[in-house]
């Protein structure tokens, strides 16, 4: 698989089979992903990988917690600014509308939306997951390094025939995750990522992308 194919076939998959992901594949991907760029090569990512019984136990506790209506943990970062303007707010709204329409969920059916959201904490059935942490003392530029690292991981997973789903939803149950993996106090959870083989029977339509002229300006002779 070449780079272009990896980029264009990568998407947030929300349905996985229970086929195990070989540990040697995960080690290969994460070893290569270490070459992702970061400012002054500080490599600010701290990654925890769960599979097997540890992941099954975490998923069970997280799903039960959310299903019981326990309050979510407050995120330690702002996911979306409260005054987000167009075109960003428009794109976000369009994504939500398309996703729930594909699931057959009506706009006002909050119970159905919550049931759909709970899939996040089951990793959508994936047999492997990683959790990405960052040192609390680092800044905005280092958060951008996390994005480059995680994208590198996702593209390498595609090269191995795997799919993924990056999930900031895990930050809403960050204390449950911390109970499972015991990270040092100075680390903050950014996101989780489900990893596995796609269940094509649960495939949803891909979300679109803005046309090139909306996001790119060419300045030439």
* Single pTM value for the model: 0.91
Question: 39: Cβ–Cβ under 8 A, 6 or more apart, which residues?
Answer: 141, 142, 145
CA 167 – CA 127 distance, rounded (Å): 15
Summarised one tens digit per residue, pLDDT across range 17-41 is 999 999 999 999 999 999 999 999 9
| Lowest pLDDT segment from 41-45, 83-87, 91-95, 206-210 | 91-95
Which two three-digit tokens encode residue 67?
């299903």
CA 148 – CA 106 distance, rounded (Å): 35
| Lowest pLDDT segment from 51-60, 106-115, 192-201 | 106-115
Question: 18: Cβ–Cβ under 8 A, 6 or more apart, which residues?
Answer: 125, 127
CA 95 – CA 3 distance, rounded (Å): 26
């Amino acid at each position: 698989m070449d780079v272009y194919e990896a980029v264009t076939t990568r998407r947030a998959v929300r349905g996985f089979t229970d086929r195990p992901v070989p540990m040697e594949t995960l080690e290969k991907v994460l070893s290569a992903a270490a070459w992702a760029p970061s400012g002054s090569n500080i490599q600010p990512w701290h990654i925890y990988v769960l599979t097997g019984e540890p992941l099954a136990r975490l998923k069970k506790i997280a799903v039960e917690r959310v299903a019981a209506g326990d309050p979510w943990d407050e995120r330690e970062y702002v996911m979306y600014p409260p005054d987000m303007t167009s075109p960003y707010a428009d794109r976000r709204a369009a994504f939500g509308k398309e996703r729930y329409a594909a699931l057959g969920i009506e706009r006002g059916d909050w119970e159905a939306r919550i049931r759909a959201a709970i899939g996040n904490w089951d990793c959508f059935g994936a047999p492997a997951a990683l959790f990405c942490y960052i040192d609390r003392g680092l800044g905005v530029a280092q958060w951008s390094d996390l994005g480059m690292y995680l994208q590198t991981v996702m593209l390498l997973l595609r090269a191995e025939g795997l799919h993924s789903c990056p999930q900031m939803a895990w930050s809403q149950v960050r204390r449950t995750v911390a109970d499972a993996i015991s990270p040092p106090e100075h680390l903050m959870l950014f996101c989780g990522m489900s990893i596995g083989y796609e269940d094509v029977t649960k495939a949803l339509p891909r979300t679109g992308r803005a046309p090139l002229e909306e996001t790119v300006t060419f300045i030439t002779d």
